[in-house]
Chain A
Amino acid sequence: GAGVSQSPSNKVTEKGKDVELRCDPISGHTALYWYRQSLGQGLEFLIYFQGNSAPDKSGLPSDRFSAERTGGSVSTLTIQRTQQEDSAVYLCASSPSRVTEAFFGQGTRLTVV
């Protein structure tokens, strides 16, 4: 597709379950970001991938959160043993290089019940 694609668009899960969120960046974009956004709030940085460099994981809130980017393209954000406070919109963005314009997906709305 032409833009950043995230799936699923909505996810409802029971507390304690694991979830996987997927991001398909724009083809050729080397930088990929994951952010979390609570209702009415700004962006909370989670993790950043740039090319073959080691990812910047400094924003991951706990060891229940992990992410990988396979082949420099698709990325998966995994949340283990979900908690109610994990409920939020998870946004993915990609960029042609390190600090040029970030193109965002429409996000995955995660609800933990």
Chain B
Amino acid sequence: TQLLEQSPQFLSIQEGENLTVYCNSSSVFSSLQWYRQEPGEGPVLLVTVVTGGEVKKLKRLTFQFGDARKDSSLHITAAQPGDTGLYLCAGDGSGANSKLTFGKGITLSVRP
């Protein structure tokens, strides 16, 4: 079973602060996805990283895939209240019958 550990589980910060959260596994993934879920909605894809060492930027969000493709980080610069939500990472397994595996998520609260 491929497990994804996300940390920290909860994070509450002030508007304007920077933060980094993590998604770690002992398994290698072909690709890794980050989703954000807002209250009352389903998760929505933010980004997919595929290549080891890859860095992708989405406005104030920077995503990095580890060189060994076992871990990923999400850095948010100058957080805003609109960034509040549950951040989930998901990795694809290997093999014909594998599926997307989700981590438990990181609950981020950005205070005005």
A45 to B105, CA, bound (A): 13
Write out the residue numbers on chain B whose beta carbons fall within 8 Å of the beta carbon of A33.
99-100
Q: Which residue of B lies closest to A109 (CB)?
A: B40
A37: shortest Cβ distance to chain B, in Å? 9
- A65 in the interface (beta carbon within 8 A): no
- B13 in the interface (beta carbon within 8 A): no
Are A35 and B102 neighbours in the complex by a CB distance under 8 Å? Answer: yes
Are B33 and A56 neighbours in the complex by a CB distance under 8 Å? Answer: no
A104 to B45, CA, bound (A): 9
Are B99 and A40 neighbours in the complex by a CB distance under 8 Å? Answer: no
Write out the residue numbers on chain A whose beta carbons fall within 8 Å of the beta carbon of B25.
none
Contact with B along A4-47 (1 / 0, CB 8 A): 10000000000000000000000000010101000011110100
Write out the residue numbers on chain A whose beta carbons fall within 8 Å of the beta carbon of B97.
50, 53, 56
Instruction: List the interface of chain A (C-beta within 8 A of B).
Output: 4, 31, 33, 35, 40-43, 45, 48, 50, 53, 56, 91, 93, 95, 98-99, 101-102, 104-107
Q: Which residue of A lies closest to B106 (CB)?
A: A42
| 3 tightest Cβ-Cβ pairs between the two chains A and B | A104-B42, A99-B92, A42-B104
Instruction: List the interface of chain B (C-beta within 8 A of A).
Output: 6, 30-31, 33, 35, 40-45, 48, 86, 88, 90, 92-93, 97-105, 107
Are A50 and B42 neighbours in the complex by a CB distance under 8 Å? Answer: no
Partner of A95, one of B35, B40, B100: B100
Which of A91, A102, A105: most chain B Cβ within 10 A? A102
Known: A40-B107, A48-B99, A102-B43. 20 other contacts (CB 8 A): A4-B42, A33-B100, A42-B6, A42-B103, A42-B104, A43-B102, A50-B99, A53-B97, A56-B99, A91-B43, A93-B42, A93-B43, A98-B92, A98-B98, A99-B93, A102-B33, A102-B35, A104-B42, A104-B43, A106-B40
